[in-house]
Structure 1
Amino acid sequence: MTNKKDLEFLRVTHLRGPNIWTYRPVIEVVVDIGALEDAPSNKIPGLNERLEAWLPGLVVHRCGVGEHGGFLERLRDGTWAGHILEHVVLELQNLAGMKTGFGKTRSTGERGIYKMAFRTRDEHVGRAALAAGRELLLAAINDTGYDLAAQVAALKELVDDHCLGPSTAHIVEAATERRIPSIRLTDGNLVQLGHGAAQRRIWTAETERTSAIAESIASDKDLTKSMLKSCGIPVPEGSLVRSAEEAWEEAQDIGLPVVVKPYDGNHGRGVSLNLMTEADVTAAYELASRKGGSQSVIVERFIAGDEHRILVVGTEVVAVAKGESLWVTGDGKSNIIELVDSQINTDPRRGTNEDAPLNALAPEKGAEIILELQRQGLTAYSIPQDGQKVLIQPNGNVAWDVTEKIHPSVAHAAALSARVVGLDIAGVDLVCEDISRPLDEQRGAVIEVNASPGLLAHLKPANGEARPVGKAIVAHLFEPEENGRIPIVGVTGTQGTSLIARMVGCLVNLTGIHVGVASGQGLYLDHRQVVKGDCIKWEAGQRLLINRTLKTAVFESNARMILTEGLAYDKCQVGIVTDMEGIEGLAEFYIRDIDDMANVIRTQVDVILPHGVAVLNAENEAVAELAGLCDGRVIFYSEDPDNAVVAAHRTAGERNVIVRAGSIVLADGADEAVLLPLAALNPATVKYPASVLAAVAAAWALGVEPEIMAAGLRTFDPAAKHAPH
């Protein structure tokens, strides 16, 4: 214990998988609050008022009270600095745009020392929020100043730098709602949904089904248009040109007004609309060639109407957004820049980061805006007369949801456009006056088909209903009955767990299924050892989960891994617990007795799926008691056929694996079936009968046929470098 009025972090640990606190990643902190042990919140003058003033969002923290304002009630009644820090850190993350709500603080039993955990979606942000939370809390305790705005701004930058973009995060959340696991594969937006052979991959609005050829076609606007036209989809008349002179000649041939745009552009960059003069066409050509990075530019007939972005996923239209022109009205005093800032950029939906559905505009920098102003005889620094309306941007503001209004024939044309190009997810740009009427009634046309379309216009429309596009993308990737999971077996304990893991892998592999095993002896793919040494590590486990060939994976873990990293998987089909030994080696984690140890080891049982199975050692009382925590079924194993736990389980009609008369027996309720004599095992294996029983129980839970189990057990050699087939 220390006597200082301070908060000292004794250890900070990022638990990346299921742990003693929760199923999700958390940061765990061992904090020494020192002299603050004698100063709960109700004994520090002004503390509560300062916290509420700085962080008004604390009012929604329910805390242990379980209702709105619960945490503030705890503050008024008196709570300690470790608990306060938990809520301050959570609220800082929320203010930074990374919504989190889970946190817990527990005493370690040592005076002034607490273990605190809080949910975080990114380690960098979480650690920074922890440091900022400590500074803020100490400032509130000591009544000193604190620049909250600057700290939140810094945290927001970290969120932008390290967290998934909003579109990708929305898809991942939709997968999570369907209980499909996810793994972030890079620091960017490449994400794996599902595990092993059941996985799919996304990169924002691209999927592993998105063809590179289709993307190339979509980026070639002239080729796209010719393909659409050949299939009867209305497109604007136009041609590819390679000089400003050709652009003007083509414009005259088509008939004014025209549109000029890059042949390989996207997101509306370099597009100029409604051009009427040679000077406008020439300037637009220069802009388009510069933005597209090529002399090749498209000149096409201008179509009157509003721009629409139609999101097609698979074969269905899932969202439609409408664009609008942007204007400002002069006051006789302000220039265009000032008018845009006061009349357009004040819209809270506009911003410069990915979270904003609409972009903030800079008339003095945006080439398209500069050109549009030039056509009106203006610059960004011109001062329009009082009441004069000035067109700032004729396109690029597609953020008004009109999904419910689209005519079936228009939806069909959009879906067909995506299929013609070959994209599984496409943003089809279409111009028409009324999306609720057929295109042939109003000279409407498809102007572009885009790969990797932006989703924010549909997730955060400027007006109208947000659309569940993430749900549609996940449904496109996974059939209704699919959850992206492969059978996972977790083995936790200290007694023979490496042997059990390898044996389970061998027995399952004999069924013809590719299996990966991560254990204390190494990393195995089927019978082949690919990494030697201890692989009871989170990162080793991830190597198995991202392997697209694996249809089953087996993971060995122990209490130390759960306490330092968390399990490598979120859920499992089978969870095996052998024992709760090793308490003496965990003193640094404040694990002192069997109850503390059970709280750690139960993590393996907590993650078993509702249709899964816990395999528990009936001869260990503490292990057997974990049965009540399992959401699925339980198979007990015991060398003693008359074990009381086994007997009660059999009476309940449940499964057990026992030894009777020197043979391994599968006991299903009152029925018994001899698997094989122990004497038939390899001499090196028969030394560990309890491990054999645990492996048999796991294989039984996975549906391995008894004949295959018997054959595998006869040939399994624990000393072999390569487990035999």
Structure 2
Amino acid sequence: MEILEIRTLRGPNYWSGYWKKLIIMRLDIGDYEDKPTNKIKGFYERLIDVMPSLITHGCSYGEEGGFLKRVEEGTWAGHAIEHIALELQTLAGMETGYGRTRETGEKGIYNVVYSYLEEEVGRFAGRTAVRLWLDLAEGRSIEEIRVGIANDIQEMREVREDVRFGPSTGSLVDEAIHRDIPYIRLNDQSLVQLGYGVYQKRIQATTTVNTNMISVDIAGNKHATKKLLGDMGVPVPRGFRIRDIEELEDTLDSVGFPVVIKPLDGNHGNGATVGIKTLEDAKIAWEKAKEYSRYIIVEKQLIGEDFRALVVNNRLIAVAERVPAHVVGDGKNSIQKLIDKTNEDPRRGYGHENVLTQIDIDNQTLRCIRKAGYELESVLKKGERLDLKTTANISTGGTAIDRTDEVHPENVFLFERIAKIIGLDVAGVDVIAPNVSEPLSENGGGIIEVNAAPGFRMHLSPSEGIGRNVAEHVIDMLFPPGTPSRIPIISITGTNGKTTTTRLIAHILKNSGRTVGFTTTDGTYIGNQQITAGDNTGPVSAQLVLKDPTVDVAVLETARGGIIRSGLGFDNCDIGVVMNVAADHLGLKDVNTLEDLARVKSVVPRSVSKKGYAVLNAEDPLVYKMKELVDGKVVCFSMDENNPTIKRRAERGRVSCVYENGYITILKGKWKVRIEKATNVPLTYGGRAEFMIQ
């Protein structure tokens, strides 16, 4: 058995009208072509043994256990590998449900097609599924297979955490999708473009194109932040910035215990230690903070709970109380057992896969336990709470309680004023106070930090209280109601005439004053300037145009190769043109017949938006048949005004374009408009080049 090729589809494609993110694995199953599952001794029982969750796959039976019934009756390797690849992703926390396995016309070679959420994980799942099949078929021990699956699933989770959007960026992208705002991921981190062309807005995590760089620098310098706020009458704790450990003892004497020690320019709680009451603990905290910054902040610890206030576009959106990772004693179980039981909470997962994160027993946890006079084997008294981290970050196992509806109006004013003082469009204001229901000026609370790029997770899915859709307020700020996010996209496909048609449309639009980005077989152009040379008819070139901030209309030649290789480079288009389907390039990439080729070309009209138009050749039956796949309106063209299809459409009041008595003419019912005499169009060489008229 051999994987011949793995392709990744990222847009509308040949295989599905709905699923855009697909893996295509071209698989040679070798001798297993003659050995379906019911002819491999013990395969069915071994598969159930190592992956019992496959019982949820209905397959062609459409009911629980359907796929396993197919295995018992006998199915081929490619089909089983498809289901295993899907289930591996589900077990790793990425449930996705589309799969197809199809013959290629070559004996023993199949296209195994399945959906994915994260591309790297999807490809990994395919390779792992093939190996698992071989392990099962060739008699590897069940225990070894189980261990291998567990290791593979953990690796998939780790890869997912490395490549997926974090919960904050993910919430913004999800909100954009909900509003039909397209997005393009610009790197493998959290830099994202929302919208196309001139209407695009960029975000990086929760910083936006509107975020002021000076404000980010101020927020990143905790000493500068505290001084600026203090000078403006905002309550902040007393503290100092120091560089050398020799200054530490005198600073502690001046500030007084308990203190907080943190790096000057840290974030997300990295390097911060709270509740320090001795010089020895202060020195340990110093070393920890030094890993993140040359300068260290030593400040008086305020007494109270830890709150985060989120301000977007100068409005308070949400407030959460953050609680450090902790356990509560029951008088029976050890601290280790209490942590294990806490991690069994179904809301907790690996990394960002769930509402809460599992508590990791690291050096910080061990220090917290020993500082309280305990060991992991110790048993806490019933009701006794033990904090396991020095900060209350959700990412280290902390929890959150929504307090938005409890905030005193004076505090609302204060938090919004702080965001304005620092100058952040999206600000996370960190507060220590007994509560937020009383003015901070009365209960002794204060502001300890202001954060650029604040995390949203605690507000989106608090462990207690109401989840707040904070992402909608950021998208409202970037795209106020009525603000466009899409530029017109015209996609042209077919066997012949694509490049000329693309250039002609681009020329007309440029003369109307538009900045046109267009792609052809000889290059990509912005306006009159060639940006790249070569065959640029695939999704990469399309996205180059859509990412350009000067382009206000895109005209994209779309060839079969790019569609087969990666799908379209856009989610939908406003106009999709299909010129014709002819017998060129047959026999490549499993496109063997005209019908196969037509199916490839049909991806373009199938991607036309509901308000858009598919422009189809009424003289080509394979092209005209594509009308059945179109959600938008259909316009047809023909060189023959008496074409039966055109006549039927005219009788029904449908729009068509024909060549009539030497004129390019628009028809609708009895209505007829002559646009231009063909001989007056230079491209037709005085009307002699009929193929140019077409």
TM-score relative to the length of structure 2: 0.87
Task: Show the counterpart of 1:192.
Answer: 193
- Structure 1 Cα separation of the partners of residues 386 and 333 of structure 2: 13
Task: Show the counterpart of 2:600.
Answer: 600
Q: Cα 1:620–1:422, aligned 2, differ >3 Å: closer, same or farther?
A: same
Task: Show the counterpart of 1:18.
Answer: 12
Q: Cα 1:670–1:24, aligned 2, differ >3 Å: closer, same or farther?
A: same
Task: Show the counterpart of 1:428.
Answer: 429
1:307–1:432 Cα contact (<8 Å) kept? yes
Q: Cα 1:395–1:665, aligned 2, differ >3 Å: closer, same or farther?
A: same
1:239–1:299 Cα contact (<8 Å) kept? yes
Task: Show the counterpart of 1:127.
Answer: 123
Q: What is the deviation of 1:200?
A: 1.8
**How does 1:134-533 map onto structure 2 within 5 Å?**
134-145=130-141, 146=145, 147-241=148-242, 257-276=258-277, 279=279, 283=283, 286-287=286-287, 290-300=290-300, 302-325=301-324, 353-355=351-353, 357-358=356-357, 360-362=359-361, 365-366=363-364, 370=367, 387=381, 392-397=388-393, 398-409=398-409, 410-464=411-465, 466-482=467-483, 484-533=485-534
* Two-structure CA RMSD over aligned residues (Å): 3.5
Matched residue of 1:192: which SS? strand
Matched residue of 2:602: which SS? helix
- Structure 2 Cα separation of the partners of residues 342 and 163 of structure 1: 27
Q: What is the deviation of 1:490?
A: 0.7
Q: Cα 1:628–1:257, aligned 2, differ >3 Å: closer, same or farther?
A: same
Q: What is the deviation of 1:332?
A: 12
Q: What is the deviation of 1:530?
A: 2.9
2:334–2:379 Cα contact (<8 Å) kept? no
Q: What is the deviation of 1:129?
A: 1.5
- Structure 2 Cα separation of the partners of residues 413 and 190 of structure 1: 31
2:586–2:597 Cα contact (<8 Å) kept? no
Q: Cα 1:630–1:369, aligned 2, differ >3 Å: closer, same or farther?
A: same
**Does 1:105 pair with 2:67?**
no
Task: Show the counterpart of 1:660.
Answer: 660
1:515–1:526 Cα contact (<8 Å) kept? yes
Q: What is the deviation of 1:619?
A: 1.6
| 1:460-487 C-alpha deviation (Å, 9 max, x unpaired) | 5444554434444333322344563211
| 1:103-147 C-alpha deviation (Å, 9 max, x unpaired) | 112234555443221123444333322121112123333443322
Task: Show the counterpart of 2:578.
Answer: 577
Letter in 2 for 1:321: A
Task: Show the counterpart of 1:716.
Answer: none
2:495–2:581 Cα contact (<8 Å) kept? yes
1:576–1:615 Cα contact (<8 Å) kept? yes
Task: Show the counterpart of 2:538.
Answer: 537
Q: What is the deviation of 1:422?
A: 1.6
Letter in 1 for 2:528: H
Task: Show the counterpart of 2:548.
Answer: 547
- Structure 2 Cα separation of the partners of residues 306 and 649 of structure 1: 71
Q: Cα 1:359–1:115, aligned 2, differ >3 Å: closer, same or farther?
A: closer
Instruction: Tell me whether 680-689 or 244-253 shows the greater mean CA deviation.
Output: 244-253
2:24–2:114 Cα contact (<8 Å) kept? yes
Q: What is the deviation of 1:184?
A: 1.9
Task: Show the counterpart of 1:706.
Answer: none
- Structure 1 Cα separation of the partners of residues 495 and 688 of structure 2: 16
- Structure 1 Cα separation of the partners of residues 622 and 540 of structure 2: 30
- Structure 1 Cα separation of the partners of residues 565 and 326 of structure 2: 57
Matched residue of 2:570: which SS? coil
Q: What is the deviation of 1:616?
A: 1.0
- Structure 1 Cα separation of the partners of residues 369 and 110 of structure 2: 63
Matched residue of 1:311: which SS? strand
Q: What is the deviation of 1:580?
A: 0.7
Q: Cα 1:439–1:191, aligned 2, differ >3 Å: closer, same or farther?
A: same
Q: Cα 1:54–1:493, aligned 2, differ >3 Å: closer, same or farther?
A: same
Instruction: Tell me whether 624-633 or 142-151 shows the greater mean CA deviation.
Output: 142-151
Task: Show the counterpart of 1:678.
Answer: 678
- Structure 1 Cα separation of the partners of residues 629 and 326 of structure 2: 63
2:324–2:399 Cα contact (<8 Å) kept? no
- Structure 2 Cα separation of the partners of residues 607 and 190 of structure 1: 26
Letter in 2 for 1:89: A
Matched residue of 2:587: which SS? helix
**How does 1:702-713 map onto structure 2 within 5 Å?**
none
- Structure 2 Cα separation of the partners of residues 692 and 425 of structure 1: 55
Matched residue of 1:502: which SS? helix
Q: Cα 1:260–1:275, aligned 2, differ >3 Å: closer, same or farther?
A: same
1:331–1:384 Cα contact (<8 Å) kept? no
Q: What is the deviation of 1:274?
A: 4.2
1:330–1:384 Cα contact (<8 Å) kept? no
Q: Cα 1:331–1:434, aligned 2, differ >3 Å: closer, same or farther?
A: closer
Letter in 1 for 2:137: I
Q: What is the deviation of 1:243?
A: 5.9
| 1:684-722 C-alpha deviation (Å, 9 max, x unpaired) | 5545556556xxxxxxxxxxxxxxxxxxxxxxxxxxxxx
- Structure 1 Cα separation of the partners of residues 277 and 108 of structure 2: 77
Letter in 2 for 1:308: F
Instruction: Tell me whether 230-239 or 343-352 shows the greater mean CA deviation.
Output: 343-352
Q: What is the deviation of 1:681?
A: 1.5
Instruction: Tell me whether 87-96 or 223-232 shows the greater mean CA deviation.
Output: 223-232
Task: Show the counterpart of 1:638.
Answer: 638
Letter in 2 for 1:85: I
Instruction: Tell me whether 228-237 or 14-23 shows the greater mean CA deviation.
Output: 228-237
Task: Show the counterpart of 1:558.
Answer: 559
Instruction: Tell me whether 648-657 or 54-63 shows the greater mean CA deviation.
Output: 54-63
When the two structures are aligned, how many residues end up with a matched partner? Answer: 678
Task: Show the counterpart of 1:710.
Answer: none
1:614–1:634 Cα contact (<8 Å) kept? yes
Task: Show the counterpart of 1:91.
Answer: 87
Q: What is the deviation of 1:441?
A: 4.1
Q: Cα 1:438–1:46, aligned 2, differ >3 Å: closer, same or farther?
A: farther
Letter in 1 for 2:580: D
- Structure 2 Cα separation of the partners of residues 327 and 112 of structure 1: 56
- Structure 2 Cα separation of the partners of residues 374 and 26 of structure 1: 50
Instruction: Tell me whether 503-512 or 141-150 shows the greater mean CA deviation.
Output: 141-150
2:237–2:299 Cα contact (<8 Å) kept? no
Matched residue of 1:82: which SS? helix
Q: What is the deviation of 1:592?
A: 3.4
**How does 1:8-87 map onto structure 2 within 5 Å?**
8-22=2-16, 23-87=19-83
2:325–2:392 Cα contact (<8 Å) kept? no
**Structure 2: gaps of 5 or more residues:** none
- Structure 2 Cα separation of the partners of residues 163 and 382 of structure 1: 34
Q: Cα 1:158–1:280, aligned 2, differ >3 Å: closer, same or farther?
A: closer
2:272–2:390 Cα contact (<8 Å) kept? no
Instruction: Tell me whether 147-156 or 318-327 shows the greater mean CA deviation.
Output: 318-327
- Structure 1 Cα separation of the partners of residues 627 and 285 of structure 2: 73
Matched residue of 1:308: which SS? strand
Instruction: Tell me whether 385-394 or 417-426 shows the greater mean CA deviation.
Output: 385-394
Letter in 1 for 2:129: G
Q: Cα 1:80–1:405, aligned 2, differ >3 Å: closer, same or farther?
A: same
Letter in 1 for 2:391: N
2:564–2:600 Cα contact (<8 Å) kept? yes
- Structure 1 Cα separation of the partners of residues 4 and 377 of structure 2: 61
